[in-house]
A and B are shown apart, each in its own frame.
Chain A
Amino acid sequence: NAGVTQTPKFRVLKTGQSMTLLCAQDMNHEYMYWYRQDPGMGLRLIHYSVGEGTTAKGEVPDGYNVSRLKKQNFLLGLESAAPSQTSVYFCASSRGYQETQYFGPGTRLLVL
């Protein structure tokens, strides 16, 4: 099993550009999450999904959109990137809300 995979691994955007980050999991998990990691702030939840076709806002959802059209995939979109969105983005999945979350390797995003 590959676990949780993320693409791309690294991306540079100009302000105003858009992009989509892809997360895929092969563990048949119901729950999926997107976090951002910034120095000294730990991980902050952007959006999450409790099952196929559902999404919900986390702690810092502004400027991001998500979709969960298939159970194994969770997409994070930036419609108009801003320098404040420079960060490392992590996807995670879990069997249920009480279960351990398993993380992908991360995507480094630099917005100029």
Chain B
Amino acid sequence: AQSVAQPEDQVNVAEGNPLTVKCTYSVSGNPYLFWYVQYPNRGLQFLLKYITGDNLVKGSYGFEAEFNKSQTSFHLKKPSALVSDSALYFCAVRDGGGNKLVFGAGTILRVKS
């Protein structure tokens, strides 16, 4: 069965600094990996996904993520954080042949000015 781990409950970063939100995964087949963001009292919004191809995936709002097969990781990154990036971030994985998306527990990102 697939699983996702987000090892940090919260990440704090100063505005303008680079940010990284970590995600590791476990699947039996080829992974389909996603990042979603949730703002307070809102639904989840899609940021980016990796299905196949280039290991560096670019997404919405200047975010990108790097797929590392050997380390089974899919960390979310942004070169310069904004206060408006403060939100709850979820990593999710689907086994290549499966119907179901499994979510991590989420990481709170706080960007301070």
Contacts and interface: CB of A to CB of B under 8 A. Distances in A.
Contacts of B99: 31, 48, 50, 56, 97
A58 B100 contact: yes
A63 interface: no
Given A42-B90, A103-B44, A48 B32 contact: no
A50 B101 CA distance: 13
Contact of A42 (B94, B98, B100, B103): B103
Given A42-B90, A90-B44, A105-B42, A97 B98 contact: yes
A101 interface: yes
B34 interface: yes
A38 B3 CA distance: 17
Contacts of A105: 42-43
Q: How large is the interface on A (under 10, 10 to 19, 20 to 34, 35 or more residues)?
A: 20 to 34
Contacts, number: 53
A56 B36 CA distance: 24
B43 A100 contact: no
A106 B40 CA distance: 11
A104 interface: yes
B49 A4 contact: no
Given A42-B90, A100-B34, A90 B43 contact: yes
A102 B42 CA distance: 12
B43 A40 contact: no
Interface of A: 4, 31, 33, 35, 40-45, 48, 50, 56, 58-59, 90, 92, 97-98, 100-106
27 contacts: A4-B43, A33-B101, A40-B105, A40-B106, A42-B4, A42-B103, A42-B105, A43-B90, A45-B100, A48-B99, A50-B99, A90-B44, A97-B94, A97-B99, A98-B32, A98-B51, A98-B94, A100-B34, A100-B46, A101-B46, A103-B36, A103-B43, A103-B44, A103-B45, A105-B43, A106-B41, A106-B42
